[in-house]
Structure formats: C-alpha cells, structure tokens
Structure 1
Amino acid sequence: MIKRAQEAGVKEMVVVGFDEKTIHRALALVERYDFIYAAVGWHPVDAIDMKDEHLVWLEELAGHPKVVALGEMGLDYHWDKSPKDVQKEVFRKQIALAKKVKLPIVIHNRDADRDIVDVLREEDAGQVGGIMHCFGGSVEIARECMEMNFYISLGGPVTFKNAKRPKLVAKEVPLDRLLIETDCPYLAPHPYRGKRNEPAYVKLVAEQIAELKEIPYEEVAKVTTANARKLFDIVR
C-alpha cells in the first residue's frame, strides 16, 4: 500500500492515531518510514473512555519529533457512545493541550457544525489552527473555520456524483486554504467507492478539485503539498 502511494506521487503522509491502539500503530509507522508523520489525539466517539493519564500521555507524545499535530479531536453527534457534554469537555482539554505544546489540531466533525465552530472560537483555537478533516459542511461554515486559521481538507466525497456540498466547497475555498486526504480505509473516491481506501487514491481527489476549479492537476498537487508542509512544519 505504501509503495503504491509512492508510485502515485505521494511524497509525505500523516497517519492519525485516535486511541491507544491506533496511536501505537501510528508511532510504529513513523519510526519505520522517514516520509510518514503522525497526528495523535482522542476521537470524540470514544471521549467517554479518555482518562487524565491519557492527556498526560498525549502531552508526552507531542514532544516526539515526528508528531506534527494533535487529533483527531472534535464532536460526533451521529454515534451515541459518548454524551455530548463529555465530548465537549474532552475536546476543550485537547485544544488547551495543543495551545500548550504549540501543535495544530485535526478536527473531526459529524453532525455538529455549529457546536464545533463555537467551541473552536470559545477556546481560541486559532492560536494553533489546524485542519477541518474530511470537511462536509457548508461554504459558510468553511469560511468561519478559515477565519480561525484552519485549512479545509477534502477527501473522497468530493468525487461522488451527488455530493453537492464538497464540490461547492472545492470551488469556493481558495487553493491556498485547501488540503487533500483519503481518510483511508474509509470513503474511497470514485471509481473505488465502497471499497477499501488507500493513500494512492488521494491523486483522484486532487484531479477532481482541479477539474472543479478549472486549473491544472499539477497546480493542485503543488499547492496542497506546500500547504500541508507549512501547517505541519515539514521541511523536505
């Protein structure tokens, strides 16, 4: 899978660890490959399982030279494992930690647009900025997030035939505020929709954005790569 990504032109990758198990996996990958970096955090669905010692652990991991962001963090109102108030508390704690360690944050948002924006604003998350991961909101929400120093990241859904919102966002958000991703193994882009996603398919996302913006694919690839390197402070 990693070889296929390189063959597709992927230069660097950021893998996300969102609980104890996946954080350990992410760290193992960054130790093995010099072009893979990690984001570590606590997913909102599992917020109810987060303990104070986990926050201490995340702070320790933030000092790892290849940990470039904290997250995923945020709010998920689709699943009901963790109550909303618990999710918000864990979200706020992780934002505070990010400000302390001076790392950008990766935001997970499902069915919680208004609350996400409100918490980010109340906690002054713009101090560190970050990514609105796999963004599925409106252009208006995207603008509010960009005003707070966040990039808008688009994945496979922008290639889906009837996905009006991501396509409109791709057209309206300036290229210098866009990032691209896969969110693998989920949300594989067309024509692989419904199958396992993988990093190589990020090229299909870039191609779709180029088509929507009516600009060369090479420009999308170049600028979004530069955006990611700037945000994550990756020097290559």
Structure 2
Amino acid sequence: MLIDTHVHLNADQFADDVDDVIRRAQEAGIDKMIVVGFDTKTINLAMELIETYPFLYAAVGWHPVDAVDFDDDKLAWLEELTRHPKVVAVGETGLDYYWDKSPHDVQKEAFRKQIALAKKMKLPLIIHDREAHEDITAILREEEAAEAGGIMHCFQGDEEMAKACLDMNFYISFGGPVTFKNAKLPKEVAKIVPDDRLLIETDAPYLAPHPYRGKRNEPAYVRLVAEQLAELRGITYEELAAQTTKNAETLFRL
C-alpha cells in the first residue's frame, strides 16, 4: 500500500483517460492520492474528483507562477474550500524563480498569505520551491510556518536546507527525479531524512521516474520512487511503503 502525496489528476494531460489512470494506480497498490489544485481550473477539478472517488483527497492553493492573479477574493475562496472534510492541505504554494512569470515580491506576498491561511485552518502546507531555496527557508522562518508544518514537495535542495525544513516541522517528499541517474544531490539527501519525515509522490503528469523519464507520469509510477528510496536507505520496499504510508496518514490525518 502506497500514498501518492502529490498528483495532478486534474491536469489537461489526463482529461481523456483519468478513470483509466486511477484504475492503474489502484492496481499498482496506490491506496490514496492527494490531488493538488493550484489555480481556479485545477482547484475546481480537484474538488470534483474528491467527490467522485472516496480514496482521493485534495490540497488547494495558488501556484507562485500565477501569483499575479491572486487576490483577497481568491484567498477567501481557498479558506472556504479548506473547510471541506476531504481538503487536507494548503498548497501548492511557494516561490518559483525558474519560470519567473510573477514578480518576486508578488510571489512572496501570496506565499505569506497562504502560510497564514494554513495556520488559521490548522492544515499542513505543500511547498513548491524552484530555484528559490534561500527565500523559501527565510519566509518559512519569518512566518513561523512550523505551526502548520507540511511538505517540501519534490525536494531539490541540499542537506543543509533539508535539515532546516525538518527543524520547522516539515516532511521531505521525493518524486521521479530521485530515480534519475545524474540526480546525485537528491539521492544523498534521501539517505539522511528521518524515517518519520519521509514521503513519496509523483507530481504526475510531470517528472516521470526512470525508465519513463520524458513521458507522461502516472500515480502508478510512485512505486518506482519507493523502490529507489528503499535501495538508497538500505531497507526493504515493504518497510519503505509502510513507513511512508504511515507518515502521510499522520500528516494529512487520513
């Protein structure tokens, strides 16, 4: 039994066959999935999916790439949605300096507001961090995000950043990139995360693990992430699966 803690079944890439994708995930032993909504369209689709499938849950937030579109009305909408019993996190939110489609100060403001929302609603955060390690860490500290805790999604930072996030009550989640042959840093970090702070994800349809790199990712492939982490940590697949499932159930109160 596995839990995919970050999947975009609400993405356009799954529009034609989402039911089949979900069926394949179940056949692969994926017991639960967290569907992440990050703008108006994907949030609405995530809410539809969790009403349809009992084993799907949602996270709702506003992506930093689209922070220019975030306003107080959308913040109030997110707060309303977080009252739904199957909405289990705020996010994904954070900073993205790679695509750089929203000014940094606008991204930071949207990020801070969503941290405050998570604290208010007593929900964990799902953090998106792309080429913004220092600012992410600083804002999490300044906003006392440890009160909410959450997930460093598809972690790409170094060991020092991982330890800083662990100290702030965050879990470290790994996806497809940890399986890439040239992914030296994620592989090293994956070895030092405490057992009770480790999570797995796909970020499907993005970042498919080896040997599917470059193709559409699916939640069924989270098993490949689990197998790689088990090998890196010197434990059995069954032990890794049991631990990460327990961690996800604890964090999201499933």
TM-score of the pair, normalised by structure 1: 0.98
Cα distance in 1 between the residues matched to 2:99 and 2:206 = 16
Cα distance in 1 between the residues matched to 2:226 and 2:196 = 14
Cα distance in 2 between the residues matched to 1:213 and 1:146 = 18
Alignment partner of 1:135 out of 138, 150, 155: 155
Q: Which residue of 2 aligns with 1:40?
A: 60
Secondary structure of 1:194 counterpart = coil
Q: Which residue of 1 aligns with 2:89?
A: 69
Secondary structure of 1:197 counterpart = coil
Deviation at 1:118, TM superposition (A): 0.3
Deviation at 1:79, TM superposition (A): 1.2
Q: Which residue of 2 aligns with 1:176?
A: 196
Cα distance in 2 between the residues matched to 1:124 and 1:80 = 25
Q: Which has the higher contact order (CA 8 A, sep 6+)?
A: 2
Alignment partner of 1:3 out of 10, 15, 23: 23
1:53 aligns with 2:73: yes
Deviation at 1:175, TM superposition (A): 1.9
Deviation at 1:187, TM superposition (A): 0.4
Q: Which residue of 1 aligns with 2:113?
A: 93
1:125 aligns with 2:145: yes
Cα distance in 1 between the residues matched to 2:180 and 2:100 = 27
1:15 aligns with 2:38: no
**Deviations 1:10-58, CA, capped at 9 Å, x for gaps:** 1100000000000001001100000000000000000011111000000
Cα distance in 2 between the residues matched to 1:199 and 1:67 = 19
Q: Which residue of 1 aligns with 2:126?
A: 106
Deviation at 1:80, TM superposition (A): 1.9
Secondary structure of 1:25 counterpart = helix
Q: Which residue of 1 aligns with 2:12?
A: none
Secondary structure of 2:177 counterpart = helix
Residue identity matched to 1:62: T
Q: Which residue of 2 aligns with 1:147?
A: 167
Cα distance in 1 between the residues matched to 2:183 and 2:123 = 32
Cα distance in 2 between the residues matched to 1:190 and 1:44 = 28
User: What are the ranges of 5 or more consecutive residues in structure 1 without an aligned counterpart?
Assistant: none
Secondary structure of 1:68 counterpart = strand
Q: Which residue of 1 aligns with 2:253?
A: 233
Residue identity matched to 1:185: P
- How many equivalent residue pairs? 234
Cα distance in 1 between the residues matched to 2:40 and 2:207 = 23
Residue identity matched to 1:173: V
**Deviations 1:123-170, CA, capped at 9 Å, x for gaps:** 000001000000000011000000000000000000000100110011
**Deviations 1:89-127, CA, capped at 9 Å, x for gaps:** 000001011111111000000000010000000000000
Deviation at 1:214, TM superposition (A): 1.1
Cα distance in 2 between the residues matched to 1:98 and 1:120 = 12
Secondary structure of 1:228 counterpart = helix
